[in-house]
Amino acid sequence: MLYDAMIAPPPEMSAGYDVCILGAGAAGVPLALKLADAGKRVVLLEGGGLETENRSQDLYYGDAELGYPYSPLEACRLRQLGGSTQHWGGRCAMLDPHDFEPRPDLGPEYDHRGWPIRIDALAPYAAPACAVLGLAEFDAPRRAIPGTETMERVLYRWSGAEPFAGVIDAQPVRMRERYSADLEAASHIDLILNANALGFALDPDQGRILGVRFQSYDGPVRSVAAARYVLALGGIENSRFLLNENAKHQNRLGNTSDMVGRCFGEHPHVRVGTYFVSKRPISWLPDVAEQVDTVLHRHKSEMIVGPTAAFMRANGVMNCGLRVQRLRNQALSEELAAASPLTKGLIFGEDYHYTGFLMAASEMAPDPNSRVRLIDEVDRFGLRRAGVDLKINPIEIKTKQLAAFEVAKMFIRTGIGRVWLEPWVLSGETPDLSFGNHHLGGCRMSETVETGVVDADCRVHGLENLYVAGSGVFSTGGAANPTFTVVQLALRLADHLCAR
């Protein structure tokens, strides 16, 4: 059932629920639906309404420039039913097996322990996550590229809410449009809109959450109780909420080691070069069967490659996705053609036939100094706002630089063409970076409270009945867009809560 806290909450909230979920986005919606299918009674509190509104979005304002300048916090996420799936691009990929493993070669300044789980823990949830997001199923995250031993093709899928109408124009699944009717019709779910969570009632002796207080924008403070609670507010907001709560409860909510908000990461994006193709390829794709798969499953026509696990470990770098962006049947710009002996004098249509850009998006090393903090300013409900103190380290630049070199070699070795590299790649200087708005870490999964916030089951260390869902629990970021893994983890958490 659907309710609006601006009008009235469900009439029997005092009876209690099996699970209370805070946040109805990429994690909260599939988690609620799966729990309800298993017969669990769920209350789903969403701070926003059906649409984005200024009064709700205002709660996301904060300081994005405590470290490396970051995206405005009110612009890089949406506070409404469906969360940030309402503006995502639909790009989905699986994490690689080596993303979960320890990386002691990265150096002592980073937390290199990896995840307390391995990829096989998420494997059973790959097909269900594809169903949630409207994807063709994955067969493997990587494929070999003939002619190179250092780079592999990374397999991506594209979420589609509508029947196939075009490779580029497929509409991604939006959680609000796709699942609001299911949420409203579910007899085991009470979805309450405009229900802004204010804080928990905590029994410190038992290590249990007893209830959560919430409020609409102009109504009284109310409370709801459940057997278990899940924070699914988004990567930054989960950290912000826990930091506010820990300030009131002597750091008893997973923060005895000051790890809440730490190891915050992103996928920094930057152009690394321009390629030109000396052949007349039908497609970037290596065979006809894969071309058919591309059309049927709504892939966008670009190739993404990444370094092999062996290359990463041998060179002390991290995972990186190099996007060989869509072919353009046009000449290099006059400025670029004259900028290098490599391109000067080449004739379009004879020496080369297609051009395109190379973009790099790599993971960040888990750095405890990169974090979500609280700033002094408070929102309309008295909660301190978030600040992002993002650290860009030399290893992030080295990762992109070496990956760019390997792609340039791949173009030569496979006979595809050549690559003109951006000057910063050759110099190793830090370029101007943009970001994918992927809010990773801050509530990272770990074996102990000394190294993270939640355990292998996403339960907050030291508390019996509080869990976290979403990209904030990622121990490492990998190079894959996080939404697919967020849904996998949410479905896995649903099974855990049912078993409990």
pTM of the model: 0.93
- In this predicted model, what pLDDT tens digit does every residue of 142-173 receive, in sequence order? 988 888 899 999 988 888 766 554 444 468 89
Positive or negative, the CA dihedral 86, 89, 95, 100 is negative
- In this predicted model, what pLDDT tens digit does every residue of 443-476 receive, in sequence order? 999 999 999 999 999 999 999 999 999 999 999 9
Cα 290 to chain centroid, rounded = 27
Mean pLDDT of all residues in 361-381: 96
What single DSSP character describes residue 166?
-
Residues 479 and 218: their CA atoms lie apart, in Å, by 42
Between strands 42-45 and 189-193, the pairing is: parallel
- In this predicted model, what pLDDT tens digit does every residue of 56-71 receive, in sequence order? 999 999 999 999 999 9
Q: Amino acid identity of 327?
A: L
What pLDDT score does 372 carry?
A: 98
Mean pLDDT of all residues in 210-235: 95
Tell which phi-psi region holds residue 254, choosing left (phi > 0), alpha (psi between -120 and 50) or beta: left
φ/ψ of residue 199, rounded to 5: 165, 170
